[in-house]
Amino acid sequence: MHIFGKTDTEVIMVVDRSGIHRAKKLASTLAHYAGRFQFHLLPAHCGHHLNPIEGFWRVMKDTIGAGRCFSTLHQLYWRTRQVLMAHQERPIYAFHW
b/e burial code for range 76-88 (CB count within 10 A of at least 16 → b): eeeeeeebeeeee
Q: What is the pTM of this model?
A: 0.47
Sign for the CA dihedral angle at 85, 91, 96, 97 comes to negative
Looking at residue 58, its amino acid is R
Residues in CB range of 43: below 8 A, 6 or more apart: 50
List per-residue pLDDT tens for the chain, 97 residues long. 445 556 677 788 888 877 777 788 888 888 888 888 888 888 877 766 677 777 777 778 888 877 778 888 898 888 888 888 887 776 655 555 4
Residues in CB range of 29: below 8 A, 6 or more apart: 1
